Structure formats: C-alpha cells, structure tokens
Amino acid sequence: MRRILLDTSAYSAFMRGSEATGAAVREADEIHVTPVVLGELRAGFMGGRQRKKNESELGDFMESPRVVVDDIDEETASRYAEIVESLRAAGRPVPANDAWIAASAMQHGLVVVTSDPHFGWIPQILSETTG
C-alpha cells in the first residue's frame, strides 16, 4: 500500500498539472494532508484572485475517499521537537511549517511528496521531490 503526505508545494504542483506530482497522486492508495498544509493553502487562496475557484477545487480534492487529514497531537509535537533539534544540530534548519509536516509524516509512516528539496535534509522521514 502506497501512503503519501502531500505538502503544500506538491498540492500546488498537482493542481498546475505537474506530471510527476500527478503520477505520485494517482499511484497513492492514501493521500494524507495536515492542518498545516490546509492552512497554508487557504492563506494563499485568500490573497489570490481565484479564491472561490481554488477553495472549490480543494473541496473536491478533500472529498476523495483516498484523502485523509491527520490530526496534530502531542505525539506530533514530540516528533516536531526531535526534527527541529536534529536539524539545528546539523546546521540545516527548515521552515517551521515544513517541520510540522515532516513530524506528521514521521508519526504516521508516510512519504512526503513535495517540490521542496529541503525535506531531503530530514533524516527521520522519506521524501519524494517532484515538480
């Protein structure tokens, strides 16, 4: 079973028609997102000219039975702290929201599908960089 966590950049690439991201989404049995991803997307929609269209497309995407929203809980917070500290020690910090996304992937054993190569710096997770 292929289970992925779609980050914000990958969702955006998927909606723009990226072949590599589209393949990752099509091949997944489960597509996970986090409240962090949903918040980043909705914040982006609020500043754009196609807010209603983007919200509608996200709603359609979220209705898929393959899409799961993972909660952020105390275990996620512990994994977040572990990731942030290991990256700090290595001198390779990543944006805080991406550390939360990685913590969810670590907690649930998911592969992060992303357009951001810095997920590859996080040794606690598997990531797949697409376009």
* Residue 15, pLDDT score: 96
Percent of the chain with pLDDT over 90: 97
> For the domain that residue 62 is a member of, what is the CATH number?
3.40.50.1010
Q: Which range of residues forms the domain containing residue 86?
A: 3-129
Please report where in the chains the tokens 């914000």 appear, as a residue: 8
- The chain-wide mean pLDDT, for the chain, equals 96
The SS3 call for residue 4 is: strand
* Residue 3, pLDDT score: 98
Cα separation, 56 vs 18, in Å, equals 20
Q: How far, rounded to the nearest angstrom, does the alpha carbon of residue 64 sit from its chain's CA centroid?
A: 17
pLDDT for residue 98 is more than 90: yes
Packing angle, helices 35-46 and 8-15, rounded to 10: 60
How many domains does the structure of the chain reveal? 1
pTM of the full structure: 0.94
Percent of the chain with pLDDT over 70: 99
